[in-house]
Structure 1
Amino acid sequence: MARASTGRLLAERYQLTERRRGAAVEAMDLRSGAPVLLEAVPLPELVRPFDQLTEPEGERPGGDVDENDVATLALTQANAVAQAVGDHPRLNQVFQAFAESGYLWTVGESVAGVTLAQLLEAGPLTPYRAAELVHDVATGLEAVHRAGIVHGNVTALSVTVCEDGTALLGGLAVSAAQEALCGGPGAAQAGAGVPTALWSPARVRARDARSVVVGPVAERWAPEQLGVVDGTGVPVGPAADVWALGVLLYRACTGMAPFPEGDAEQLFYAVRAGVLPDPRSAGPVWPLVVRLLDADPNRRPGLGAVRVALRRLLQRAPEPLTGATEFRLELPPSSRAGTAARLPVQRPPAEVAERHHHAAPRRGTVLLGPLLVGGIILVTLLALVLVSMLAR
């Protein structure tokens, strides 16, 4: 995230604050008066690989955009995906993308909540709570895939956990800009998200650039995004996002990724080797995690099947502990400030059938204490009256 000065004005309308939320900074839209979230992507002057000039016409980056202007290409891609995906209750809205001061800035809605990464700083979630959140993310992903787009940025930083316990998926425009900056074949295809061309020298160079731009984040490196040694590999499609769900599910219920993330080389080696961690750490979600992390993208389940599996898992969840209170997200001070002004976005709660009752347990136990105290007082009064009558 770019170092943003408090009070700085961007695009002549967005005034930055000192409050951060994950990789984003909170700001105020002076035109609408609504709070927004801004996220910055550095716009370095990348030199496009020489061997891309020999790529077939359909695989060359650039399209109708000036091939030498990477900032324009990244901006075009960010706005393209934002417009291609309509409003959805499980997706964070993107309003605008613009370039200023060497950065591409994306402007999204500000919803009261914290990122999943921030939530996990306090410790891992229960497998069933993790399953609920991943179900929400999968629901939002379906809308992205219906628009013909691969998200490519499903991580704990791009997921917002709202006050009501539901999850929103963001990061789509940022992902599109980053992929365009890497300059691989297909990077300028509107709404491509990630390159879909088979492996070539140009795509290998693009992968190396991506390792610098994206970094060692396990959700963003499915095996097909690494390439196969001494092979041609397979295209990158929606199954890469399914892989990301598997990593995210494991991370949410263990607090760590299923592969080492010390550096890109270490992560790439572990993903290619396909050695998975101890299954006991993931509990009841482990069988689904294994399916989602299949090295062959053709064997990974579709999002519909993922949602069904998560719902079945939640139906088998144990009852909440006696006396458990309703789920309540405690926002840090930086997230509470300014949350009274909300964007006029109608966000219905998750479907009742899909949200297990342990997230909002029955409230009858809350009245148990007062009822017991009242009963004791009543019995005491009756005893005093009886003693008084006998004394007469």
Structure 2
Amino acid sequence: MTDPGEAAAGTGATGMLINGRYRLLERLGQGGMGTVWRATDERMRRQVALKEPVLPDGIDDQEREERLRRMEREAQAAAALRHPNIVRMYDIESVDGRPWLVMELIEGESLEAILATGTLSVPEAAEIGCQIAAALAAVHAAGVVHRDIKPANIMRARTGETVLTDFGIAQIDGGTDLTRTGVVVGSIPYLSPERAAGQRPGPAADLWALGVLLYEAVEGVHPYRRQHSQSTLAAILTDPVPQPRRTGALTVPIMSLLERDPARRPNAAQTQLLLAGAAATAQSTQPVPTVLDTPAATALLPAALTLRLRAAGEAVTATRRRTAVALGVAVAVIAGATAWALWPAGAPSPASIPVGYKAQQVASLGFAVAVPQDYVASIGSDDAAWASPDGRIQIDLRDEGKSTQDARAYAQKRLDTMKADHSKPSNCGDSDVPDPFFTTPVHDPQSMLHGGGVNASVIEYDYSAKAEEQYPCIASSPNDKAIEQYMIHEGHVLHLAVNVRGYYKQQADGQKADYAVYENVNNSLKFG
């Protein structure tokens, strides 16, 4: 029961006393499953965190029951675990039939909040990853799969510890699965390929999510996040991992965790060992992770994984030796970190490099380009991407395979598809959940010519996207802008896209600056 005269049952308010013991002090945050409060345990005289169940209006009885049982499941899953890197569950209180979870209060901030201010260094990410791997080793040993490893569910305490939280959708061996058939639970960008394919996840799914998280934390770009959910799922299922550029000693552990086959990923204990070695290597001058050379590591790792890791380490060493002899090195300081741009002799340089931009050469695609110098790069075998520090502007260049048509035909097909698949919904009834993406074309394909005789065709459209959100009605006007062009180079189709989120929320000067990014990138393209 709550104190008489306070807010209605199930709705927390500052000062409310829960079941005569827990006094609510302030809201700390809110997620899909509930609101987290800072509270005082007046019996034990300590501060705790209380998680209040939040049930949205309009859900049916089955959904309501499922949500409440998930919170009870969270308490059961976490209460059975005792580990310094796992949040402690103290109690569960029933308030008018709804479970309130009483747990350890972590004084600090989430990894999501930390990454919103910038990327992590390799040593920082390795240390955080090592602690989360240790937590997952304990979780998996207890027969639990977390299923929701993401930055928002990882807390960095002020004392330095990293703590895994939120077991709301955890899967427990021998327990009843509370997920309805056909319903995807968890954060889509962190789903493993097996989960994206609709399979029941095992512990390896948590390790995939950890790999994605570490990639994102150091590179500053999520390897699979796309404009909307379906595209993200498709990328997880089919796209190769973009080659990381800044991960250093973390490259081998991350790429091992992002093996598409779950049987080929290291388990949590092996991951902890790999990340501990990466952390030590990042602090030293050793060119190859020292963990690969220790008898303890070899004994704990499966033979196939050991061979793959050793081969990767040897390749890194050989690449560094060749680089020192054959390549010139240009150094640019970006947001306090050092980035290396390697230029083979005779490689093209951008046609122009505006002030505040840096030269980028993508040998795999046969071109060079200039991008803003604080943008974070992710360059793979058949694509390259750059993102602004705030994630608002994304530049993508992709090889889409051998060409069978001219550039204008590809641009027109793209525009026709966008019109057909993403037109603005005609109504916004309460029961409608429209496609979270619609477009307004600005102009039909326009031809242009790049240096070296490369033909291109350009389209431009405004759009609105609200990925992974359910909402009754889409915005009345688009907020975002995309400019895309198709180019034919050496018999292949190259696709350039510049996406600007919040374009129409900017003032005129801001819009002009946003558009200048596309113009500068486009004007600087130089093909070999």
Give TM-score scaled by structure 1 length: 0.60
Q: Which runs of 5+ in 2 are unaligned?
A: 1-9, 286-528
Once the two structures are TM-superposed, the CA of residue 289 in structure 1 deviates from its matched residue by: 1.4
Q: Which residue of 2 is the match for residue 338 of structure 1?
A: none
What whole-Å deviation, never above 9, does each CA across 1:112-163 have from its counterpart, x for those lacking one? 2221112222211101110001101111111111111111122212211122
Conserved 8 A contact 2:21-2:41: yes
Q: Which residue of 2 is the match for residue 142 of structure 1?
A: 137
SS of structure 1 residue aligned to 2:23: strand
Matched, 1:311 2:276: yes
Once the two structures are TM-superposed, the CA of residue 18 in structure 1 deviates from its matched residue by: 2.6
Q: Which residue of 2 is the match for residue 35 of structure 1?
A: 47
Q: Which runs of 5+ in 1 are unaligned?
A: 50-67, 180-186, 196-201, 321-392
Taking only aligned residues, the RMSD between alpha carbons, in angstroms, comes to 3.1
Matched, 1:18 2:16: no
Distance 1:99 1:188 in 2: 25
Conserved 8 A contact 2:74-2:166: no
SS of structure 1 residue aligned to 2:144: coil
What whole-Å deviation, never above 9, does each CA across 1:9-48 have from its counterpart, x for those lacking one? 3344322223525753322222222111233453464566
Conserved 8 A contact 1:149-1:193: no
Once the two structures are TM-superposed, the CA of residue 262 in structure 1 deviates from its matched residue by: 4.4
* The one of 2, 14, 18 aligned to 1:6: 14
Q: Which residue of 2 is the match for residue 245 of structure 1?
A: 210
Conserved 8 A contact 1:215-1:263: no
Conserved 8 A contact 1:43-1:102: no
Give the counterpart letter for 2:88 in structure 1.
Q
Q: Aligned pair in 2 of structure 1 residues 120, 111: CA closer, same or farther (>3 Å)?
A: same
Matched, 1:96 2:91: yes
Alignment of 1:197-212 (within 5 A): 203=181, 205-207=182-184, 210=185
Q: Which residue of 2 is the match for residue 81 of structure 1?
A: 77
Once the two structures are TM-superposed, the CA of residue 194 in structure 1 deviates from its matched residue by: 7.9
* Higher RCO (C-alpha under 8 Å, 6+ residues apart): 1
Q: Which residue of 2 is the match for residue 62 of structure 1?
A: none
Distance 1:319 1:156 in 2: 27
Q: Aligned pair in 2 of structure 1 residues 175, 33: CA closer, same or farther (>3 Å)?
A: farther
Q: Aligned pair in 2 of structure 1 residues 306, 75: CA closer, same or farther (>3 Å)?
A: closer
Q: Aligned pair in 2 of structure 1 residues 80, 265: CA closer, same or farther (>3 Å)?
A: same
Matched, 1:283 2:291: no
Once the two structures are TM-superposed, the CA of residue 284 in structure 1 deviates from its matched residue by: 3.1
Q: Which residue of 1 is the match for residue 258 of structure 2?
A: 293
What whole-Å deviation, never above 9, does each CA across 1:50-74 have from its counterpart, x for those lacking one? xxxxxxxxxxxxxxxxxx9435533
Q: Aligned pair in 2 of structure 1 residues 254, 14: CA closer, same or farther (>3 Å)?
A: farther
Matched, 1:124 2:89: no
Give the counterpart letter for 1:5 in structure 2.
A
Structure number with higher strand proportion: 2
How high is the sequence identity, in percent, across the aligned residues? 28
Give TM-score scaled by structure 2 length: 0.46
Distance 2:152 2:67 in 1: 24
Distance 2:68 2:178 in 1: 17
Q: Aligned pair in 2 of structure 1 residues 238, 193: CA closer, same or farther (>3 Å)?
A: farther
Conserved 8 A contact 1:116-1:159: yes
Q: Aligned pair in 2 of structure 1 residues 72, 162: CA closer, same or farther (>3 Å)?
A: closer
Q: Aligned pair in 2 of structure 1 residues 37, 274: CA closer, same or farther (>3 Å)?
A: farther
Distance 2:61 2:229 in 1: 21
Once the two structures are TM-superposed, the CA of residue 255 in structure 1 deviates from its matched residue by: 3.5
Q: Which residue of 1 is the match for residue 66 of structure 2?
A: 70
Alignment of 1:342-381 (within 5 A): none
Structure number with higher helix proportion: 1
Distance 2:140 2:174 in 1: 15
SS of structure 1 residue aligned to 2:241: coil
**What is the number of equivalent residue pairs in this alignment?**
270
Q: Aligned pair in 2 of structure 1 residues 262, 142: CA closer, same or farther (>3 Å)?
A: same
